[in-house]
Amino acid sequence: QFLVVQDRVSRMMIGTAKRESGTFYFRRMELAALAEVRDDALYQLWHAKMGHPSPRVVGSLPNVSISVVSAKINKACDVCHREKQMRASFPSSIDKTTNVFDLGHCDLWGPYRKPSSFGARYFLIDDYSRSV
């Protein structure tokens, strides 16, 4: 009747939900507690976990300190500077793959100096699934 959500690494409980009519409902207070941002390190952590959104998006989370968010507006992370730059896109291909791993695309500018959360320094994208 209950669902418990834990952090994958620390195993710390970060939320619970109660099942009603086949649907799990989280209590709003618990969700808000997850989004608290009090200092620079936590802001950077949430910014990275959310996929590098703008400070406005991070600031829209419940209980996010407005002073922390406003201080970050002009301090984008290195990934944001590199990945959100404007560049010409590749032309659309008329050839379409029909299976996973038929064709892969890799980055040409790697290795990236800051590894991903899993330690990766290069990007490899599957053409069919578009998975990284």
Per-domain residue ranges of the chain:
1-33, 35-85, 88-132
Q: Strands 23-26, 104-106: parallel, antiparallel or unpaired by DSSP? A: unpaired
Task: Give the predicted TM-score (pTM) of the model.
Answer: 0.33
Token digits of residue 47: 């910014």
Q: pLDDT at position 80, please?
A: 77
Token pair recorded at residue 2: 């209950």
For residue 86, pLDDT beyond 80: no
User: Per residue in 24-54, pLDDT tens?
Assistant: 887 654 444 444 445 566 677 777 888 888 7
Q: Is the pLDDT of residue 103 over 50?
A: yes
pLDDT of residue 64: 54
Which of 1, 67, 5 is closest to 30 using CA atoms?
A: 5
**Beta bridge partners of residue 24, listed in sequence order:** 19
What pLDDT is stored for residue 61 in this prediction? 66
Q: Which residue has the tokens 């659309």?
A: 92
The torsion region of residue 60 among left (phi > 0), alpha (psi -120 to 50) and beta comes to alpha
